[in-house]
Amino acid sequence: MGIEIKMPALSPTMEEGTLAKWLVKEGDTVKSGDLLAEIETDKATMEFEAVDEGVIAKITVPEGTDNVKVGTVIAVMAGEGGEEAPAPAPAPAKAEAAPAPTAKVETPTPAAPAPAAAPKAAGERIKASPLAKRIAAEKGFDLSSVTGSGPNGRIVKADLEGAMPGAAPAAKAEASAPAPAAAAAAPVEAKAVWYDETIPHEEEKLSNIRKTIARRLTESKQTIPHIYLTVDIRLDALLKLRSELNKALEPRGVKLSVNDLLIKALGVALIQTPKCNVTYTGDKLIKYSRADVSVAVSTPTGLITPIIRDAAGISVSAISTQMKDLAGRAKEGKLQPAEYQGGTASLSNMGMFGIKQFEAVINPPQGMIMAIGAGEKRPYVIDDALGVATVMSATGSFDHRAIDGADGAELMKVFKELVEAPMGMIA
């Protein structure tokens, strides 16, 4: 009997994706863990690996196909004995692809724990993904007591959550807030846009990432009443501390950026002003006790926001190391969903482009985003005397449904104080 390879759900909110590229061809022999294809989701391009061994007998969805629904058979692998499963119905042509699903707030929800099952019979093969097997081996956990929710009953990572001792609390801690329901307005349907076809031009197909950015920014500006608060911040003390820390960290191969220190400052400021570390859901307010800072990273396919978890509680060297890794993999489209979904607030820095000041759009369902401008030499009053200092402008965008102006102003005040006296955030 052949094995059907189906379009995987690579994130909790994924309903369809683009089969960007096949990494195998018909007739290739693959084993568990081999890369089969690159799948473009609404956030990143991710590699899809085999969970079974066999020969690719038939590819039913060609690369480049858009709007492939999760669960669609995209290929057939010859099973034991070389038998091939009956070919499934071909995927619909691109021109007839179903329209994109209506907009949702992309807040991941933790996978429900798989129910325990009776131990499998002795000698029976346990079907599990390579990642699930690795996690089970590291934890010394017996997979025979778990029922798989993956293809053909295969055990996947999500099935282990709640099954292993001590796993459930961790999963709960990482869970994001429930998605806003009553407050979210109906999405605006796309309308044809007129343009002058007589002007020399070329057409570029929108990636799933670009479509998602457009939808979410439209949703944010239409449904969230933004309030903007700006402060000017003197950077001299922070730049001096950064230089001293980099000398101390040089033997460890760590080099802090100004952005690393600003991430830390925002994390600490959110903890010190908890009324701004919130999510509005329509009928209740979610108050976070940890500051997970999403950091805007520009990639060839669009903006993505990898997350520094517990930015207030970890060291600046850890922030620097994590940020370099996350930004590098973000540019390659290699982030996992858990690395960019969630977060309690965001930081966007355009100072490297010479932008003096700007107002960022809130990343729902978060309650605020900090926009960082360029540090520049400016006339500045120091000890009642006019001097020259390195100054930057920072603008906080706040969800006015959840955060009052006075509370937003308090966060901006604390953020300014932490940056101007940075020892207070690393002590």
- Contact 373/357 with Cβ under 8 angstroms? yes
| Domain with 19 in it | 3-96
In-domain check, residue 181: no
Strand partners, 279: 286
Q: What is the mean pLDDT of the chain?
A: 82
In-domain check, residue 26: yes
Angle at 381 between CA 380 and CA 382, to 5 degrees: 110
Rounded distance between C-alpha atoms, residue 209 and residue 1, angstroms: 37
Domain boundary at 73, 96, 119, which?
Answer: 96
Report the candidate in 252, 237, 343 with the shortest Cα–Cα distance to residue 294: 343
Does residue 218 share a domain with residue 324?
A: yes
In-domain check, residue 187: no
Q: Is 400 annotated as catalytic? A: yes
| CATH code at position 46 | 2.40.50.100
pLDDT tens for the chain, 427 residues long, are: 578 999 998 877 788 888 989 999 999 999 888 899 989 887 677 888 888 888 999 999 999 898 899 999 999 988 654 445 444 445 444 444 444 444 444 444 444 444 446 445 555 567 776 667 777 777 777 777 777 766 567 677 667 766 665 544 333 334 444 444 444 444 444 455 677 888 999 988 888 788 888 888 999 999 999 999 999 999 999 999 999 999 999 999 999 999 999 999 999 999 999 999 999 999 999 999 999 999 999 988 888 999 999 999 999 999 999 999 999 999 988 888 889 989 999 999 999 999 999 999 999 999 999 999 999 999 999 889 999 999 999 999 999 999 999 999 999 999 999 999 999 998 7
In-domain check, residue 8: yes
Catalytic, out of 324, 334, 400, 413: 400
| CATH code at position 380 | 3.30.559.10
Does residue 230 share a domain with residue 126?
A: no
Does residue 126 share a domain with residue 85?
A: no
Number of domains in the chain: 3
Does residue 159 share a domain with residue 24?
A: no
In-domain check, residue 226: yes
In-domain check, residue 396: yes
| CATH code at position 138 | 4.10.320.10
Does residue 300 share a domain with residue 244?
A: yes
Does residue 238 share a domain with residue 160?
A: no
In-domain check, residue 14: yes
Rounded distance between C-alpha atoms, residue 191 and residue 225, angstroms: 24
In-domain check, residue 193: no
